[in-house]
Structure 1
Amino acid sequence: MNLHHNLRVDDKDTEATVLKYRAPALEKGLDVLELLAAHKRPLTLSQISAHLDRSVSELFRMVQVLENRGYVAPALRGDGLELTNKLFSLGMSRGPSQNLLASALPIMQALSEATHQSCHIAIASDNHIVVIARVEAPGDLGFSVRVGHQAKVVQSTSGVTLYSFQPPKIKEAWRAQLQGDADAQTWQSFDDLCQFAQKNGYVQRRSDFTDGITDISCPIFSDGMVIAAMTIPYIRSLDSLSLEETTQRLQTAVQNVSKSLGGIESVERVSIR
């Protein structure tokens, strides 16, 4: 989440000084990308125009360029345009993400084979979580979350994990934004889960999306911060471990990943119970 990486402007810089560096064409393109990212369904050019309060002719060439460069594409289902995975791929090519995945994927594979469960890793992006890696459960049957899946932090198990174990100052900054993105009941439920997580060192909750699944999630640390959440959507089967043993295996896995990333001190605070 980039809540703690906001662009800072010195006090001597006035609003006029900042605004003189605007790039209107670039801003229009970013507006289109952010709009499509915020909507679950594709949008037509007319709908984009209405949402952004700009004329169709003003946006037509901009959308054409974004499509030619591979950032947006015609929807596979229904009319309109939707984001491609290009932005996601660009973000994943950065060093920190590559280091995380290089450390985590072998450990995730071993975890999946030992527990007979799938597992995935999610990171925070603004007020959402996004899944950046997954390992399928061994065998012919299983449940997994696709890479690129997004959900609001306050409505996801991974979001509870990413928020619960942050240092106090970062947590305070997140709270200021996240609480405004949820109604009172949603926030209370989220806060209750966070208190459970802090007490026990992991998150465990029944899935909101699929019956018969219990989500188990643990934090991955680096440099004193939670940088990701590793989650198992647990399904009880004849060859699976118990929920308790699966939780312990998951905790061991995230400790190993965190240690490889230099998060040993933080890992020791979230000990296996």
Structure 2
Amino acid sequence: MAAREDEERKYSAPALEKGLDVLELLAARGTPLTMSQIATELGRSVSELFRMVDALVHRGYVAQAESGEGFELTNKLFALGVARAPTKSLLEDALPEMRKLSGVIGQACHLAVVSEEQMVVVARIEAPGNQGFSVRVGYRRPLVDSTSGLVLYAFQPEEVRTEWRTRLAPSVSQKAWKSFEERAALARTQKYVKADSDVTRHIVDLSAPVMAADGSAVAALTCPYIETPMAISVKDTVAAIRHAAGEISRKISAN
């Protein structure tokens, strides 16, 4: 096996690997990085990476940040991933139900899936009225720091949670992980999660799992709930989200 791996490494592509290193770094950081910062993080010189970053910009994978300070990923890689059959099928089943849901609750909603140790938003529906808060497609956050991530973790089979625990727990304090596990256990009992947004004040995240036939959560359907004079109650909103998530689950299980 080792000999085979050595043989495969003979055909490595250093330039390609540099480009992949840049993409992985920008994805992991989630904030714009200057050329100097990229070079420092990767242990390379600016001159060594300049043409590589320029090529990634030209191909549309990287763009200069709106602030003009540094570079960030575009949604091109995300779009390529969404075009894969499993995600594409999920979206085809989910979007009609999400539109219905948004119309019923008068709020925006979004769908998130797992991407390594993060959750990533793969679809969203804007609120039908003038007021609402929506999360952009492609938005990422660590699983342990998001309501959608909590749902995605909570509604996995025990063996999957055990596997994820070995990767996720070291990234936070013991106290934070204990709290995360306790909230996951409560979510499994209630069949949904209600949590104050840790990103925006005056917003309550309401989320329910989209379940596959094997009993694992393939996505989290989440509403950033804003209380307005026209809004239905949190209780009714949760019921609507759970119903929509159940309908999506039924559709994907039938495929």
1:256: which partner in 2? 247
Distance 1:180 1:208 in 2: 21
Does 2:116 align with 1:126?
yes
Does 2:44 align with 1:72?
no
Is contact 1:205-1:215 (8 Å) kept? yes
Is contact 1:221-1:263 (8 Å) kept? no
Of 162-171 and 13-22, the range deviating more from structure 2: 13-22
Does 2:193 align with 1:193?
no
* Displacement of 1:179: 0.6
1:271: which partner in 2? none
Is contact 2:124-2:134 (8 Å) kept? yes
Of 199-208 and 17-26, the range deviating more from structure 2: 17-26
TM-score, reference length from structure 1:
0.87
Seq. identity, %:
47
Distance 1:62 1:72 in 2: 11
Distance 2:53 2:202 in 1: 43
CA distance 1:59–1:166, shift in 2 (3 Å): same
Q: Deviations over 1:91-139 (max 9, x none)?
A: 1111111111111111111111111111110111111111111111121
Q: Deviations over 1:47-82 (max 9, x none)?
A: 211111112222122112211111112221132221
- Specify the code of the residue in structure 2 equivalent to 1:171: R
Of 170-179 and 181-190, the range deviating more from structure 2: 181-190
Task: Structure 2: give runs of 5+ residues left out of the alignment.
Answer: none
1:29: which partner in 2? 19
Is contact 2:94-2:248 (8 Å) kept? yes
TM-score, reference length from structure 2:
0.93
Q: Aligned residue pairs: how many? A: 254
Paired residue secondary structure (1:262) = helix
- Specify the code of the residue in structure 1 equivalent to 2:228: S
Does 2:205 align with 1:215?
yes
Distance 1:78 1:186 in 2: 35
Is contact 1:221-1:258 (8 Å) kept? yes
Paired residue secondary structure (1:195) = helix
1:228: which partner in 2? 219
Distance 2:172 2:4 in 1: 33
Distance 2:3 2:143 in 1: 34
Paired residue secondary structure (1:179) = helix
Is contact 1:161-1:197 (8 Å) kept? yes
Is contact 2:206-2:222 (8 Å) kept? yes
Q: Deviations over 1:25-51 (max 9, x none)?
A: 221111011111122332222221111
Paired residue secondary structure (2:253) = coil
Does 2:167 align with 1:177?
yes
1:203: which partner in 2? 193
Q: Deviations over 1:168-227 (max 9, x none)?
A: 222111111011111223212211210111111111111112222221111112242211
- Specify the code of the residue in structure 1 equivalent to 2:96: P
Does 2:218 align with 1:242?
no
Match of 2:154 among 161, 164, 167: 164
Task: Structure 1: give runs of 5+ residues left out of the alignment.
Answer: 1-10, 265-273
* CA RMSD in angstroms, aligned pairs only: 1.8
- Specify the code of the residue in structure 2 equivalent to 1:261: I
